[in-house]
Structure formats: structure tokens, C-alpha cells
Structure 1
């Protein structure tokens, strides 16, 4: 059973330009998915962002859908939603581990993803976690995506000062000790 332990929630980020989020959900457990979606939509809208929604058959397809979307559309961030309840086979571990790992790899490539795929032992645990009036894990995943979008935008304009200099700036070439050879 879930506990009512208090935890800190970061203040909602604000944006000076529009933010567009794609919610990718597996509605395998429709009622749980609907609650996750409702929580995510409310959080996205509260931040002044817009959203679109696509459904996938299962949690394993969610990272692929996000990868395809990133290559072929213009979303700023993504919210992955679904629910995996432990069954009698090892399929549970495969789905939980592989979907989570794939989302993490996409995130490490720079995508702004909030992971709201529930991995639980029982339906009751999922119901509490998905409920927007209880643990609201859909809203939490949307908040994570929004915070990552804010961070990406904050650092988008900053340069580390490495790499090639623009044409026209003096560049010391290898073997050029007096600076006579410029790019």
C-alpha cells in the first residue's frame, strides 16, 4: 500500500515562449491510463503549455514512439505514461526494465522526458499512484518534462567556448609560430 509521506515538489517552471508537449500513453489499463493522462494534462496546462496525445499498445512501444516523434515533429518535451502490474512471468521485469532503460537513453541524448510508467505489484498500488487527487504520478511526470524543457532552454543560448571559431576570427594554425597563417 502506498504511504502518505510528505515530499517536496519543485515550483512550476515558467516560460517566455510556447511549450508543446507530447503525451505518449499505453492504455492497457484504461482507467489507470485515463487518470495518469488527466494529471499530466492538468500540469501541462497549468504551466501554460499545450499538449498532444498518442496511444501505443504497450509500455515497450512508448520509447520508440517518442524517438519517432523527436525525429519527425517539433515537440519540446514528452510525457511517457502507462502501467505495468506484476504478473506470474518474467515478462514484468522485461517490460519495466527495457521501457525505463530506453527512455533513459533517449533522455541522455537530450530529449526532455518525464517518465510516468507505473511499475507496481498490484492494481490497488497503481490506482493510488495514478489518481490526480492522490499521488498524481501523471502530473509528476509532466512536471519533470516541463522542468527539463526549462533547463534545456536555459542552457540553449550558452556556449562552452570550444570548437571551431567562426570564419574571420584569427586562428593560430599548427606550425604557425608568428601568427602569419590565419583561417
Structure 2
């Protein structure tokens, strides 16, 4: 039985490298996968899934207007792998959930659980609700505790607590922290 998976974590936990490893494992077994990433994240170029440790791979992109029931209608793959899944809409998560259970093909989503203010991304909240399997990928805060939150920082390394929910950036813009450091 196929399932909708959500593998989530704070920043810098290895979500993307984990996704690329899953793709490699399927392909090593002669299986075809479909890789998708949000068109919002074009830091390394459009349609490129890129991990901080240097692994890169081309992928198709999705936007908030992508209809996954249409996009996946004639796709024959062993698995669909979605990076930056926090940017999915609520309706898109419902579409993916439906597609998994009517096509008997797994979808694995990788993304953040919450933003820099501690608020949920709508797509992440719906994935936490509908996913058949949830898996937290762990990473550490600078203090050594388990990081579960993200903070946004400015060019001087100072914490930013206001602004748009989505501001694409990596280590120079965000840091993973534990809940204690998030509130201090």
C-alpha cells in the first residue's frame, strides 16, 4: 500500500540530501522517480535541488497553481519526491494524498514544519494532518540541544522577528535552534 510521507525538520538537518539519497536508491534498483521542487527556491537556479553538502540534481518545479492530479495524471514512476514541501498549498497536499491512494504510488515530501516566527506553513500543517507517515529528521542547535525551530537573521547575524513568511535563504539568512534558544 502506497503512502504519503512527510519528512520534516528545522533548517540544516539534511532534508534535501536525504531526498537525493532516496532518489539514488530507487534508481540503483532500476526504478524511475519524479523529483519536484518549489519554483520559489531558485537560489542555485530554477529547477535545481541542491543540498548544503554539495549534492545537486535537476528537478521539475511546482508553483502554487500546480494541480498535482493533472500534473501526475500520466506519470509512471515508482515514487514522487518533493523538496521544499512547506510551500505546497493546502489543496495541493489534499491532491497528493488523493493521488497516492488512488494510484498506489508513494509520494515523499521533505520540508520545514514552521517558519522563523514559529508559525506553521499551510502546506506543512496539512502534511502533518494528512501524511500517512511522519518522520522528523533531527539536527542540533548551537547550544547542543535538539533543534526544532528556525530563526531568521539579518546581514549582521542579528535575529529578525518581523517580515514576510517566505524569504528564500540559506545559512546566511536562517539558523536552526532549540525551543529554549528560540524564546531567549
TM-score tier, shorter chain, comes to 0.3 to 0.5
Q: Which has the higher contact order (CA 8 A, sep 6+)?
A: 2
Q: Larger % of strand: which?
A: 2
**TM-score when normalising by structure 2:** 0.38
**TM-score when normalising by structure 1:** 0.38
Larger Rg: 1
Q: Larger % of helix: which?
A: 1
